Chain A
Amino acid sequence: MLKLRFLMSLFLVLHCSVFALAEEEEFSAAQIKFFEKEIQPILVKRCIECHGEEKQENDLRLDSRAAILNGSVSGDVVDPDDVDGSLLIRAIRFQDEDYEMPPEGQMPDKEIAAIAKWIEMGLPWTKSEEPEEVPLTFDQLVEKHQAEHWAYQPVSNPAAPHVKQQKKAANPIDHFTLNRLEEKQLTLSEPADRRTLIRRATYDLHGVPPTFAETEAFINDKDPQAYDKLIDRLLASHRYGQQWGRHWLDIARYADTVGYLTGGRDTRFPYSYTYRDYVIKALNDDLPYTEFVKEQLAADYFVKEDDPKLAALGFLTVGRKFLKPDETIDDRIDVVMRGFQAMTIGCARCHNHKYDAISQADYYSLYGVFTSIEQHTPLIGNPEETPGYDEYKKQLDKFEAEVVAYDQKIYDAVIVENRTYFTDYLMRAVSKKTDVELAELEFAEMKALNIRRRVVQLWRAYLVRHAKPDNLVFSPWKLAIAIPENEFAEKYPPLLELLKIKQDEPGFIPLNPLVRQRMLEMNPKSYPEFAHVFGSLFKEITAKWVEHGANDAAKEKLTEPEQQIMTMLLLPDSPLMVKFDQIASLSRRDERNNRQPAQNKVTKHKASSPGAPAHAMAVKDLARPREPVIFLRGNAARRGDKVPRQFLQVVSTVEAPKPFQNGSGRLELAEHIISDDNPLTARVLVNRAWMHHFDNPLVLTPSDFGVRSDPPTHPELLDHLATYVRENNWSQKKLHKYIMLSNTYQQSSVDRPDARAVDPENRLIWKMNRRRLSFEEMRDSVLAANGALDDALGGVAVKILEKPYPTRRTVYGFIDRQDLPNLYRVFDFPNPDATSPQRSKTTVPQQALYMLNNEFVIEQAKALATRILEQGGKRPEMIREFYQTILQRNPTATELKLAMTFIQTAVEQREPETKIGAVHQLAHALMQSNEFMFVD
């Protein structure tokens, strides 16, 4: 026998166990038998596939009585007191177009009748032997999570735990790590040597290695504060902002193009760089993180209109331009909520989050914020100060003039067309026949190809507004087009008769005499002919007006009936009066395509000219913010309840969220995020900082602190750090230093088999994690080895993969999200289409191929080798020099010997096709080594 049971999904921890619903009734054996025999098989056969355990279309489940009573997104689906009105019944009877169920076809009448009867009985159901599990209501879920989920608990300030090996602890961080290690009879590794330490610290904070001289100086620095001083020096350098700015740009899904555009349009963001530079500057200035959040969400609320800080708003706008605007809003909600709060709320777009206490109402509350803004690109700073601005402006004016000239040509043509081809447009405004069919009529003047859709629309709108019975030019219009097009010939003549009624007779229709006369003369038999009556007359009168000079005086020269018509045609909303700024919508597709090259010149100039002044990719609130409604199943056509713009219920721990008052509410949103009561913001921040310092976060999913995420390995440490950053004015630099001064950070990365046996993944941090260089660090290090790295701050993005290869720091490289170079992908650069919590770490041969064969790498190795050759030392000296510049150390005797032998053999056995010298080959090999590519 088929057995229907509400099986609780393994993952659904959100349900609690209660006895069946209050509405539970006692049913007779006969009723239950009826259910089992007649109803259950129907449900199983026709409904459960989409409304059961696996799928819950419209959030409706039909596999338990409780679930049915729970209803769907549309509310209750059954009402025993109103069987015919029950949504379920209406759906299976196909009474609502939106809900015809089952979708594959109506079920037999007999089954429909059985279900109706069953509902009337009050839904008898086999009594479950086990207590039924019913889902919590949303409010119960919020309460439960607020009470139980670690991430929603207030940030605590735990005392540093007592540890046995006090001596091993340099600061409280070590107490927290040692405490966990000692539980497993483990301890921290020995401190790393100074050479390793300076290289680690420099890579962590700068993304490039120290020089050999810096390394030696640090090793030999006798000052007990040497390491302290090192950290300060590193944090004071602008390279810090470039390295940590790049980490934030991963979160911000930063790219320099909008993504895909049709019609060959230039896809560059001309001003994305201003956001990138803002981020780097904010980090270098050690802007408190709370301010950093606030500026990126709402700088426009509190800075002047040309303040460079407006560039912060690029956080919202540098995302991909999606084919649908709703996707753009979704992207912005996602980047804000995952980026600042590690909350994944995208699921709630279509239904309440399956696991987290995030409702559709929460989603649309935020949707309301981001649908109430518009983008603009205000000038920031003083453009005259940009070197080369004058030249830039001159060129820009020239390019823009080309676009205007092109548009002027189209505009002039449109004006002439609209003053001439009245019939062509009027008949299209009324007739359902196709452009081609109409173009074949003998009085048609335009080719179907040349019809402007927008002008047809303008005529339609114009006629709706003006062709009313009391209008003296159009009085018969409405009556005529009330006749169905295919019955026009038959039904129009009686109407024509009405026009023959004289002024003093009853039933007279007032009408412009010229229109009346022409109507009677032409005796139209169809919609197009009817339109032609007007069209031909309008054309003649307009021609006269044009002949007289097409102005007010010209109108005066017309006869009175002509003037009456001309006045109508010159109303502000008449298609004859289209404005130049409407040109984009008036253009035909071919004209738009032809405009593109000129338009692209403008975009390209703005995006790549060195003299282009900075603009912010800013947003501003709409004058009247939009009031959001829930879209059922995420479908904008199916509108549910209104919701206020406000913050998420589950994070508003103190009280119920209040609707935002100020504009779109962005500033209030920011204030919720940076509020002392927000349990997430500081934890998310310190977890990410930890991740970059240790190559592994404390919470494994740095952008998902939801209930399905793993709890932190060191919850107390996480809270300790969160408290630290809050108490230190949200300074990230202080946080770095605090972490880096711990012995946990300073320990060696060398393997310890005993510890590995206990904790193979090093979750307890018994050693430092060795990490591979990121794509940016790899490329920058290759350049740094050659002494060629250009790390100047700021500016327009540079195409670093095009020859001649620029030496610009990689963070300033051009990022085309539509065509992200393979190289970026191969080295795990994250997909810039969505916020990236963490980069993947893969090792594939394509990476090795790049190091082995890529021209850029070889070029840098060659340049370095050539420079060192030119210094003219002996071979051992040269080899030492290579080791110093590439690996920041001297070679060992064994290595020296190995290199000598290599050079010797390579010189002796050199193949004819080899174009680079033995010494160059050696430099190239060192750049490919694991020592070069990993940070211990």
Chain B
Amino acid sequence: MDNHAQENNAMPIMDRRQLLQRCGTGLGMMGLAGLLGDQGMLASSAQADSYSNPLAPKQPHFPAKAKYVIHLFMNGGPSHLDTFDRKPFLEKFAGKTLPEGKNLRTERKTGAAFPSPFKFKKYGESGIEVSELFAKTAEHIDDIAVIRSMQAQVPNHEPSLALMNCGESVAVRPSMGSWITYGLGTENQNLPGFVAMCPGGYPVRQTQNWQSAFLPGIYQGTHIDTNHTDIGKLIENVKNTTIGKKDQKRQLDLLQQLNAAHREQRGHDPALDARIQSFELAYRMQTEATEAFDVSKEPKNILEAYGKGTQARQILIARRLVERGVRYVQVWHGQGQPWDSHDDIEKQHRKLAGQCDGAIAALIADLKRLGLFEETLILWGGEFGRTPTVELPQAGANQGRINGRDHNHHGFTVWMAGGGVKGGQVYGATDETGFKAVEKPMPVHDLHATMMKLLGFDHKRLTYRYAGRDYRLTDVHGSVVDELIA
């Protein structure tokens, strides 16, 4: 009978360095893509080598400026009418019922026209009007493309969040961040490729917002509760509380020596090599990830520019992550649906915008300073906008104060900046009331198609074979809007 013990005696035990040399140095040698069966259908240059790291950086379909995405998600649905889409019409019609046929159906009943309580002003050379809520962000308006003709499909949070994140309002589909990470990999193997920050817990629809669905699980967003300032709580298993750094290093050396001998007996096996490498990466990740989330190392002027509070901190973290090569960063405003101002919109929106306006402005300035602005595509927006009419009381639905707005999927605003976006422009328009997108209506699929283009993808060609069909983010829809691209 064979006995391992005897075989082993004949085998030299390599040290860790020798082992790693044998396993190859580059990431290209490690990891199993594991896209067996339902396998990846990345086109040409992005073709997945079945033995390459599934998160290794990959080239998109064509050269592009944008390499990273920061999605500032104002979850709950910020009012376009109180931020980036001024409607003088509402002032004229204040308190009056909108003309026949103008009040569209939304989730709840709404009544008379409700003019914005906020002051608007023209900014920059482009002279785009922005309300006082985003006065600081507006200082960068010449770098921003304001899309005023967005459209979703229904006036409810769950399907609209699904649509905005995953391009499909009902069925389970991978999120945009998962698609992009699948298509581009990520540049820093010591950090997750797709990070979804949300202070206090989960937004509505929870982890489905950053799900990988049928794409391999590694493309799923990693949720980070940015309410925590303790780094150990931010990333799972990043800290070992029972062992010192040097002792752990010694333990790892032992482990890798054992692995080396094991591998030596078995000959070529990329899966074994991949796991050996993954321990090296994990070891480095402990330091690097901790450092990436620690904003205290930022200079004082930077900290001051971003301001105080959780929003400022997480937007600054977003910059630190992008700076370190994280591919896709989502910054959710908070748990639940903070921007959902069915009541007290003036008070609520003022508070919410106050929490992030300064930090968003600082982010743009900071990315420019670091030379990252052109490589980073920023998307600001919610899952829909709000009605130009006041929401009426309904038991349990609101507090009956008659000073808020209902959801509005017929027309709303998002904006993009950086990453090759042509700034200083307004694209599309809602009707005079602000209820419905009428000029150059922009379905969410078109937004996705355009963002994909900015990242170097033909949205029709970044596909994945699943259940007998090639799926893509935009399903069978989506047109690129070239006007938005510089």
Closest chain A residue, CB of each to CB of B253: A902
Q: Which residues from chain B contact A853 at a C-beta distance below 8 Å?
A: 237-240, 286
Bound-state Cα–Cα, A892 to B3, Å: 10
Contact A750/B207 with A327-B171, A334-B467, A929-B255 known, Cβ cut-off 8 Å: no
Judge whether A889 and B5 touch: CB under 8 Å.
yes
Contact with B along A911-924 (1 / 0, CB 8 A): 11111100001101
Bound-state Cα–Cα, A928 to B254, Å: 11
Within 8 Å of chain A (Cβ to Cβ): is B99? Answer: no
Q: Which residues from chain B contact A931 at a C-beta distance below 8 Å?
A: 258-259, 262
Judge whether B159 and A323 touch: CB under 8 Å.
yes
A71-79, A91-99, A447-455, A660-668 - the one binding chain B: A447-455
B264-272, B311-319, B410-418, B420-428 - the one binding chain A: B264-272
Q: Which residues from chain B contact A751 at a C-beta distance below 8 Å?
A: 266-269
Bound-state Cα–Cα, A106 to B189, Å: 53
Bound-state Cα–Cα, A928 to B172, Å: 35
- Chain B interface bracket (under 10, 10 to 19, 20 to 34, 35 or more): 35 or more
Contact with B along A808-832 (1 / 0, CB 8 A): 0000000000111011111111010
Min CB distance A713 to B, Å, is: 13
Q: Which residues from chain B contact A220 at a C-beta distance below 8 Å?
A: 1
Q: Which residues from chain A contact B248 at a C-beta distance below 8 Å?
A: 852
Q: Which residues from chain B contact A849 at a C-beta distance below 8 Å?
A: 236-238, 282, 285-286
Judge whether B37 and A701 touch: CB under 8 Å.
yes
Min CB distance B75 to A, Å, is: 15
Judge whether A838 and B283 touch: CB under 8 Å.
no
Min CB distance B76 to A, Å, is: 14
Within 8 Å of chain B (Cβ to Cβ): is A194? Answer: yes
Within 8 Å of chain B (Cβ to Cβ): is A320? Answer: yes
Q: Which residues from chain A contact B463 at a C-beta distance below 8 Å?
A: none
Judge whether A704 and B467 touch: CB under 8 Å.
yes
A17-25, A130-138, A587-595 - the one binding chain B: A587-595
Contact with B along A427-458 (1 / 0, CB 8 A): 00000001111000000000111111000000
Within 8 Å of chain A (Cβ to Cβ): is B307? Answer: no
Given B33, B243, B266, which contacts A915 in the complex, CB threshold below 8 Å? Answer: B243
Bound-state Cα–Cα, A930 to B270, Å: 12
Contact with A along B30-68 (1 / 0, CB 8 A): 111111111000000000000001110000000000000
Q: Which residues from chain B contact A912 at a C-beta distance below 8 Å?
A: 244
Given A704, A843, A898, which contacts B254 in the complex, CB threshold below 8 Å? Answer: A898
Contact A843/B275 with A447-B393, A837-B37 known, Cβ cut-off 8 Å: yes
Given A435, A854, A889, A890, which contacts B109 in the complex, CB threshold below 8 Å? Answer: A435
Q: Which residues from chain B contact A818 at a C-beta distance below 8 Å?
A: 206-208
- Chain A interface bracket (under 10, 10 to 19, 20 to 34, 35 or more): 35 or more
Within 8 Å of chain A (Cβ to Cβ): is B149? Answer: no
Judge whether B237 and A910 touch: CB under 8 Å.
no
Q: Which residues from chain B contact A929 at a C-beta distance below 8 Å?
A: 255, 258-259, 262
Judge whether B11 and A894 touch: CB under 8 Å.
yes
From B35, B217, B240, residue with most partner A Cβ within 10 Å: B217
Q: Which residues from chain B contact A820 at a C-beta distance below 8 Å?
A: 207
Contact A914/B265 with A449-B395, A842-B216 known, Cβ cut-off 8 Å: no
Judge whether B247 and A914 touch: CB under 8 Å.
yes
Given A194, A702, A706, A895, which contacts B8 in the complex, CB threshold below 8 Å? Answer: A895
Bound-state Cα–Cα, A772 to B246, Å: 29
Contact A193/B1 with A447-B400, A750-B265, A828-B216 known, Cβ cut-off 8 Å: yes
Closest chain B residue, CB of each to CB of A825: B217
Within 8 Å of chain B (Cβ to Cβ): is A925? Answer: yes
Given B211, B250, B397, which contacts A905 in the complex, CB threshold below 8 Å? Answer: B250
Contact A930/B396 with A193-B1, A840-B217, A909-B246 known, Cβ cut-off 8 Å: no
Judge whether B216 and A591 touch: CB under 8 Å.
no
Within 8 Å of chain A (Cβ to Cβ): is B302? Answer: no
Q: Which residues from chain B contact A354 at a C-beta distance below 8 Å?
A: 469
From A195, A848, A914, residue with most partner B Cβ within 10 Å: A848
Min CB distance A463 to B, Å, is: 21
Judge whether A703 and B467 touch: CB under 8 Å.
yes
Within 8 Å of chain A (Cβ to Cβ): is B251? Answer: yes
Given A770, A850, A916, which contacts B237 in the complex, CB threshold below 8 Å? Answer: A850
Contact A894/B217 with A436-B392, A921-B251 known, Cβ cut-off 8 Å: no
Judge whether A895 and B214 touch: CB under 8 Å.
no
Within 8 Å of chain A (Cβ to Cβ): is B297? Answer: no
Within 8 Å of chain B (Cβ to Cβ): is A753? Answer: yes
Judge whether A749 and B266 touch: CB under 8 Å.
yes
Q: Which residues from chain B contact A449 at a C-beta distance below 8 Å?
A: 393-395, 400
Q: Which residues from chain B contact A922 at a C-beta distance below 8 Å?
A: 254
Judge whether B9 and A892 touch: CB under 8 Å.
yes
Min CB distance A129 to B, Å, is: 30
Within 8 Å of chain A (Cβ to Cβ): is B70? Answer: no
Contact with B along A687-712 (1 / 0, CB 8 A): 00000000011001111101011000
From B32, B245, B267, B275, residue with most partner A Cβ within 10 Å: B275
Within 8 Å of chain B (Cβ to Cβ): is A893? Answer: yes
Contact A914/B271 with A449-B395, A831-B213, A931-B258 known, Cβ cut-off 8 Å: no
Within 8 Å of chain B (Cβ to Cβ): is A161? Answer: no
Judge whether A911 and B245 touch: CB under 8 Å.
yes
Q: Which residues from chain B contact A928 at a C-beta distance below 8 Å?
A: 255, 279
Q: Which residues from chain B contact A355 at a C-beta distance below 8 Å?
A: 468
Q: Which residues from chain B contact A591 at a C-beta distance below 8 Å?
A: 395-396
Q: Which residues from chain A contact B8 at a C-beta distance below 8 Å?
A: 891-892, 894-895
Min CB distance A252 to B, Å, is: 15
Within 8 Å of chain B (Cβ to Cβ): is A260? Answer: yes
Judge whether A848 and B216 touch: CB under 8 Å.
no
Closest chain A residue, CB of each to CB of B33: A842
Judge whether B170 and A195 touch: CB under 8 Å.
no
Within 8 Å of chain A (Cβ to Cβ): is B242? Answer: yes
Min CB distance B475 to A, Å, is: 11
Judge whether B395 and A322 touch: CB under 8 Å.
no
Judge whether A589 and B211 touch: CB under 8 Å.
no
Closest chain B residue, CB of each to CB of A887: B4
Bound-state Cα–Cα, A590 to B244, Å: 53
Given B2, B243, B274, which contacts A921 in the complex, CB threshold below 8 Å? Answer: B243
Within 8 Å of chain A (Cβ to Cβ): is B402? Answer: yes
Closest chain B residue, CB of each to CB of A709: B468
Bound-state Cα–Cα, A891 to B468, Å: 48
Bound-state Cα–Cα, A906 to B243, Å: 11
Judge whether A219 and B1 touch: CB under 8 Å.
yes
Judge whether B172 and A840 touch: CB under 8 Å.
no
Interface residue ranges, B against A (CB under 8 Å): 1-9, 11, 13, 30-38, 53-55, 109, 111, 158-159, 170-172, 189-190, 192, 202, 205-208, 211-214, 216-218, 220, 222-223, 236-248, 250-252, 254-255, 257-259, 261-263, 265-269, 271-272, 274-279, 281-283, 285-286, 392-397, 400, 402, 467-469, 476
What are 26 residue pairs bridging A and B, where the CB atoms are less than 8 Å apart in the complex? A323-B159, A330-B171, A334-B467, A448-B392, A818-B206, A823-B236, A828-B34, A831-B217, A840-B216, A842-B32, A842-B34, A843-B271, A848-B278, A850-B236, A852-B248, A852-B252, A852-B279, A890-B5, A892-B5, A892-B6, A906-B250, A913-B243, A916-B242, A926-B258, A933-B275, A934-B272
Given A219-B1, A853-B240, 7 more A-B residue pairs with CB atoms under 8 Å apart are A322-B171, A323-B159, A344-B468, A448-B394, A840-B217, A891-B8, A914-B247
Q: Which 4 A-B pairs rank lowest in CB-CB distance, beginning with the nearest?
A: A589-B396, A751-B267, A911-B244, A344-B468
